[in-house]
Chain A
Amino acid sequence: MNRLSAAFAKSRPALVTFITGGDPTPEATPAILDALVEGGADVIELGMPFTDPMADGPAIQAANLRALGAGTRTADIFAIAKGFRQRHPDTPLILMGYANPMIARGADWFANACAEAGVDGIICVDIPSEEDGEIGPALRAHGIAFIRLATPTTDAARLPAVLDGSSGFLYYVSVAGITGKQQAQLASIEEAVAKLKAGTDLPVVVGFGVRTPEQAADIAKHADGVVVGSAIVDLVATHGADAAEPVRTLVASLAQAVHTCHLA
């Protein structure tokens, strides 16, 4: 069993947390990552900053620009990943970002760098299943999970195409929109997750617009995991290099709510 499947094999939903790598600086990121793990996150998504984050709302857009403004390079992201893997041998680490930085030196270079750094999987916002050939074969050859996104507009006819070649888990984007904005209705999330689970054995994780422990717990009751991103990134924006402590506190409250939601 690999790190990712082990994270979803526990008898409770998983908390998946996101921060942007290099925000506010590459030097500050390791302590914030450690705070995510210490707070109780089960899976870590590390955002690869990009100049043009088209799928992100204001909070994560600003985080991307802070990271790039601090001089964050692709080499820094892999150094951060490598350090994380040494400190946390069992916590799955996912790189999330946009296609262009991932293919800039070739997909094979990227997949190999992921494998060497101990990265478990990739989420790429702008490579739909139709363009799998751009990066999918390289990731599979290096044993890196390619985590695809399903959305409210992914209908039953299209779902098999999305699932074909996807691995790790399925990320359900619960709102048609950008990160950090509104939250979807709980009933629609429940219905959508049930449909997705009927089509795949992969864990289904729900994200976009989840900010509070209460929201996270409500969703976790119906899914294998919940992603929280913008709420954590907001704390980094406020506290900068001193964000680790408030991040640990928030993540602990999220983890408590998600991990015990079935008991409530």
Chain B
Amino acid sequence: MTPITTPNPNSFRTQPDERGHFGQFGGRYVAETLMPLILDLEAEYKRAKADPAFKAEFDDLLEHYVGRPSPLYFAPRLTEALGGAQIWFKREELNHTGAHKINNCIGQILLAIRMGKTRIIAETGAGQHGVATATVCARFGLPCTIFMGATDVARQKPNVFRMKLLGAEVVPVTSGAATLKDAMNEALRHWVANVHDTFYIIGTAAGPHPYPELVRDFQSVIGKEARAQMLARTGRLPDLLIAAVGGGSNAIGLFHPFLDDPSVQMIGVEAGGHGVDTDQHAASLTGGVPGILHGNKTYLLQDEDGQITEAHSISAGLDYPGIGPEHSWLHEIGRVKYLPINDDEALQAFQDCCRLEGIIPALESAHALAALPKVAKQFGKDQMILVNVSGRGDKDIFTVADKLGTSL
């Protein structure tokens, strides 16, 4: 097939290349057993993208099942408290299941069904992706197995119970630090042994090609809606976008539709844990170097021998030593700035958002909110900052209570 239009060489929106590379990042670094399936998935995704019926079903489910479009909200008291730019929220926490994760799960389960797969597996950190996957599996009647680090099972009990209510089997993973990285290792091991009938719904814009591309495309509904909503409400585009980045799916979903708008600045917030000058953080761009893990080349926390080092974050959803490959590329070319935010800053922003706006944000989203005091005053009062409130914080109240010294 010949492309109808010549790609704009100055566009930031034409990645990845046909081999799944975003600059030097991305690619398909998987065991040979998985390669044929990865190639099948790529071919099926191309067919699905060209099929109006696929898009129609995706859009219909997003509207009537997920509850889209999610609102664009002006946050008046937070704006006043910060004393700088107007603060706006993209309210992904109002989606069905309480986070942006469901957007991607809807898209991937439709692909799984197209490919004739009859079982679903997924990894989860905070449990939001696990809940979203269990939800779409219940909706479509497919058996579902979720791999979750045993540490995360302990700190995210409500989500574990939600997954079980939705009919999923939750497998606690005890290897390594028993968090998201280890859950992903175990999901890959299970997949390689069950590749004939099993589809792996990866929860973030990472992993082997075509996952980073297709997850981004499914999550881009966030940025497409926000762009249209901003123009409709204010007549112009925001001056700055802020989103938290673990693997980076909510951030790339917000950023991607704005990448070719030169007036729109972007900040991705990494989890700084106890500080990027300690060994207790999850800021792979700030504190890592490029390497290969979980199917893609990207920035990783690792030692000089290439051994992966353990990440730390108060937020289970950001507790991962890597990042999606498109973020690594956007970082290297400088289109997006990446900023670490520490646990205590996120905890403060979590409380401020509760008290000033009546919104309990996820700890992941609280990292994005915590960037606001650092940047809001760099903008005039007529300028606008849009923050992706990617998830709601009900799941985090036990962690927060523990940090604040309150027992529930």
Measuring CB to CB, which residues of chain A are less than 8 angstroms from any residue of chain B? 50-57, 61, 65, 68, 73-74, 98-105, 125-128, 130-131, 134, 148-155, 158, 162, 173, 175-178, 181
Given contacts A153-B37, A176-B195, A51 and B308 within 8 Å (CB-CB): yes
Given contacts A50-B307, A52-B176, A54-B185, A100 and B31 within 8 Å (CB-CB): no
**Once the chains bind, are A126 and B31 in contact (CB under 8 Å)?**
yes
Query: Is B64 engaged at the interface, CB distance under 8 Å to the other chain?
Result: no
A–B complex contacts, Cβ < 8 Å, 7 sampled: A65-B175, A74-B305, A104-B302, A105-B304, A128-B32, A178-B193, A181-B193
Complex Cα spacing A102 to B302, Å: 13
Tell me the smallest distance from the CB of B35 to a CB of chain A, in Å. 5
Tell me the smallest distance from the CB of B308 to a CB of chain A, in Å. 5
The 3 closest A-B pairs by CB, nearest first: A104-B306, A177-B193, A101-B306
Q: Which chain A residues lie closer than 8 Å to B305 at the CB level?
A: 73-74, 101, 104
Complex Cα spacing A41 to B130, Å: 46
Tell me the smallest distance from the CB of B379 to a CB of chain A, in Å. 40
Complex Cα spacing A61 to B234, Å: 55
A54, A152, A176: which contacts B294 (Cβ < 8 A)?
A: A54
**Once the chains bind, are B306 and A52 in contact (CB under 8 Å)?**
no
Tell me the smallest distance from the CB of B233 to a CB of chain A, in Å. 45
Complex Cα spacing A151 to B32, Å: 7
Given contacts A51-B308, A101-B307, A178-B189, A130 and B35 within 8 Å (CB-CB): yes
Query: Is chain A's binding surface mostly helix, strand, loop or mixed?
Result: loop
Q: Which chain B residues lie closer than 8 Å to A57 at the CB level?
A: 189
Tell me the smallest distance from the CB of B342 to a CB of chain A, in Å. 25
Measuring CB to CB, which residues of chain B are less than 8 angstroms from any residue of chain A? 19, 27-37, 175-176, 181, 185, 188-189, 192-193, 195-196, 291-295, 297, 300, 302, 304-309
Query: Of all chain A residues, which has the CB nearest B35?
Result: A128
A52, A74, A104, A152: which contacts B185 (Cβ < 8 A)?
A: A52
Complex Cα spacing A178 to B293, Å: 17
Given contacts A153-B37, A176-B193, A52 and B308 within 8 Å (CB-CB): yes
Query: With A149-B31, A153-B33, A155-B36 given, can you name 6 additional A-B contacts, CB distance below 8 Å?
Result: A100-B307, A104-B291, A104-B305, A134-B27, A151-B31, A176-B193
Tell me the smallest distance from the CB of A98 to a CB of chain B, in Å. 8
Query: Of all chain B residues, which has the CB nearest A104?
Result: B306
Q: Which chain B residues lie closer than 8 Å to A178 at the CB level?
A: 189, 192-193
Q: Which chain A residues lie closer than 8 Å to B34 at the CB level?
A: 153
Q: Which chain B residues lie closer than 8 Å to A52 at the CB level?
A: 176, 181, 185, 293-294, 308
Complex Cα spacing A140 to B31, Å: 21
**Once the chains bind, are B307 and A68 in contact (CB under 8 Å)?**
yes
Q: Which chain A residues lie closer than 8 Å to B31 at the CB level?
A: 54-55, 125-126, 128, 149, 151
Q: Which chain B residues lie closer than 8 Å to A134 at the CB level?
A: 27, 29, 292, 297
